[in-house]
Amino acid sequence: MPNDTPHLLNSIDTVLAAWSEKHGLPRFRTQQVRNWLFKKRAAGWDDMTDLPKALRHEVAGEMQLWSTEISRHTQSDDGTEKLLLSLADGGQIECVLLRGKARRTICVSTQVGCAMGCVFCASGLDGVERNLTTGEIVEQMLRLQLLLHDDERLSHLVVMGMGEPLANLDALMPALEEANSPDGLNIGARRITISTVGLPLSIDRLARANATYRLAISLHAPNDALRNQLVPVNDRIGLAAIIQSADEYFNVSGRRITFEYVLLAELNDQPQHARELAQLLAGREALINVIPYNPVAGLPYRTPDMQSQVRFRRILEDAGLQVRFRHLKGDRINAACGQLRRSQAGSSRAGNGLGITQI
Ligand code: SAH
């Protein structure tokens, strides 16, 4: 049966304010609920033991805390955990918890599917179904936080799951405020990264609205001809406009921009690509995040061998650029967004481990 009560996580303060007004509750009650959600990691209303029992019972019928169900929960030896969530309308999304030595990073999705059509990516193979709501984005964060052990804390958030975050800025911004707020997850803005295919108008909008988050731009090619092939949406945008917006974001935020580059054997991993990339980014305060391709079953792309990877890296470093190669994480649990959903759907292209990566 569809639940038509409001989803608390969609607009926490508004929903709680209406609730407390309706019941004539003292102010601290709404703060208590917030605390339980974000700090004391309540899994449901019944956990909120300092709310009177009758109130707990009542509130459960007045608003919805969770709007999704966990369809699958996978875990890999390196501590990476991934959730496949079923949305109320049947759509499926993925989100991931990554454990590093000193970090606990969560990765969230912003859309069901993706419209950008990057040819090597599992998320967009069937196009986009819809944008996620703010509540569905916040819910991923809270569900992932619930996976932590008592002595663990979330330290980083990356918006690198399914979908194009800048195509859903309206829902994303309030969700990131909950992540960043001292009353929310309290993750510092410098530890929140939005990864985008590079939509200049939205980058400009973000720069005007809130340039405190880190920006990562998925470049994948050093010239328009090649980028048009790998990232079809580039046809309508072009690298020059993206670099211009990135420069502007850097000017406003003062934060070094990350450029992501998925390395695909023979397609964009040759010495001339590295040289061209170095030229394109010359003189910028930038980090190049090179991601050796994680194979998606059914797609014809290959991961470059180690020799080509090292060669690519050397050329960039010799040109004075800051380079990071990402280490694979969670590849045995299909822990990159788009993969688990496809394997669950029984698709012939189902993934054999695209492997999300540690930031
Ligand atoms: N739409 C956003 C978020 C995508 S996911 C964006 O384009 O940035 C984050 C990164 O993973 C992107 O750089 C994306 O291109 C990359 N990615 C997608 N599929 C991949 C694959 N099979 N192997 C390696 N990286 C991949």
The CATH number of whichever domain residue 14 belongs to comes to 1.10.150
pLDDT the model gives residue 350: 30
User: Is residue 168 lining ligand 1, measured as CB closer than 6 Å?
Assistant: no
User: Is residue 259 lining ligand 1, measured as CB closer than 6 Å?
Assistant: no
Q: Which domain holds residue 214?
A: 69-344
User: Is residue 250 lining ligand 1, measured as CB closer than 6 Å?
Assistant: no
SS3 call for 196: strand
User: Are 169 and 44 contained in the same domain?
Assistant: no
User: Is residue 219 lining ligand 1, measured as CB closer than 6 Å?
Assistant: no
CA dihedral sign, ordered 250, 210, 327, 303: negative
Q: Probe ligand 1: pick from 114, 160, 194, 220, max atoms within 8 Å of CB? A: 160
What is the CATH number for 179? 3.20.20.70
User: Is residue 218 lining ligand 1, measured as CB closer than 6 Å?
Assistant: yes
Catalytic residues: 94, 337
User: For residue 141, what pLDDT band results from cuts at 50, 70 and 90?
Assistant: very high
Structural domain includes residue 47: yes
DSSP 8-state code for residue 305: P
> Which residue's alpha carbon is nearest to atom 18 within ligand 1?
121
For the chain, the average pLDDT equals 91
User: Are 206 and 81 contained in the same domain?
Assistant: yes
CA angle 116, 120, 126 (to 5 degrees): 50
**Ligand 1 geometric centre to CA of 51 (Å):** 43
DSSP 8-state code for residue 55: H
Taking the CA of residue 296 as reference, the ligand 1 atom at the shortest distance is 22
**Ligand 1 geometric centre to CA of 14 (Å):** 34
Q: Which residue has the tokens 């010799």?
A: 318
> Which residue's alpha carbon is nearest to atom 1 within ligand 1?
164
Q: Which residue has the tokens 């014809």?
A: 300
Number of domains in the chain: 2
User: Are 132 and 260 contained in the same domain?
Assistant: yes
User: Are 51 and 85 contained in the same domain?
Assistant: no
Which of 290, 216, 222, 219 is closest to 257 using CA atoms?
216
Pairing of strands 192-196, 92-99: unpaired
User: Is residue 121 lining ligand 1, measured as CB closer than 6 Å?
Assistant: yes
DSSP 8-state code for residue 51: S
Please provide the distance, in angstroms rounded to a whole number, between the alpha carbons at the two ends of the chain.
40
pLDDT the model gives residue 250: 96
Sheet hosting strand 156-159, strand order edge to edge: 69-75, 81-86, 92-99, 104-107, 156-159, 192-196, 214-218, 257-263, 286-292, 322-325
How far apart CA 295 and CA 353 sit, in angstroms, is: 7
User: Are 139 and 282 contained in the same domain?
Assistant: yes
Q: Encode pLDDT of 196-235 as tens digits.
A: 999 999 999 999 998 899 999 999 999 999 999 999 999 9
DSSP 8-state code for residue 301: -
CA-atom Rg of the chain in angstroms: 21
- For residue 53, which amino acid is it? K
Residue that finishes a domain, picked among 62, 83, 108: 62
pLDDT at 239 over 70: yes
Q: In whole angstroms, what separates CA 260 from the centre of its chain?
A: 14
Within 10 Å of residue 133's Cβ, how many Cβ atoms?
21
> Which residue's alpha carbon is nearest to atom 3 within ligand 1?
160
Enter the pTM of the model: 0.93
pLDDT the model gives residue 127: 95
> Which residue's alpha carbon is nearest to atom 15 within ligand 1?
218
Q: Encode pLDDT of 287-332 as tens digits.
A: 999 999 999 989 999 999 999 999 999 999 999 999 998 755 555 5
How far apart CA 20 and CA 195 sit, in angstroms, is: 37
User: Is residue 294 lining ligand 1, measured as CB closer than 6 Å?
Assistant: yes
- For residue 127, which amino acid is it? G
